[in-house]
Amino acid sequence: MDQLTQFAPIILMFVVVYFFMIRPQMKRAKQEKQFASELKRGDRIVTKSGMHGKIIDFSEKQNAVIIETGAGKITFDRSSISMEMSRKLNEPVKETK
């Protein structure tokens, strides 16, 4: 019993780290993977580097997307597409009075 009380703070610390750091990170990674797999032609996206464009084709061999920008066609890895910025770009504009 005495040994259990000695290790209780360490066990509690691992539980807190898991629920506040590891678990949310795993959930976010799962959401990003799902977002990347649901992309389709015509979607407007923003890359993590800030490049805006529209998906025109996919390269399954390279696991990449080909996007059309003002500069032409560019190929990006699916993992380089920002889920948050792309969703924000596609949200309907809210009017303020």
Each domain of the chain, given as residue ranges in start order, spans: 1-38, 40-91
Q: What is the pTM assigned to this prediction?
A: 0.71
Dihedral in degrees, nearest 10, Cα atoms 70, 72, 78, 81: -10
Residue 66 predicted with pLDDT over 80: yes
**Helices and strands counted in the chain (H then E):** 3, 4
Q: What is the pLDDT of residue 97?
A: 61
Q: What is the pLDDT of residue 93?
A: 66
Q: What percent of the chain has pLDDT over 90?
A: 60
Dihedral in degrees, nearest 10, Cα atoms 33, 83, 52, 42: 60
The top-level CATH class assigned to 40-91 is mainly beta
Q: 3-class SS at 67?
A: strand
Radius of gyration of the chain (CA): 21
Which token pair is 12?
């509690």
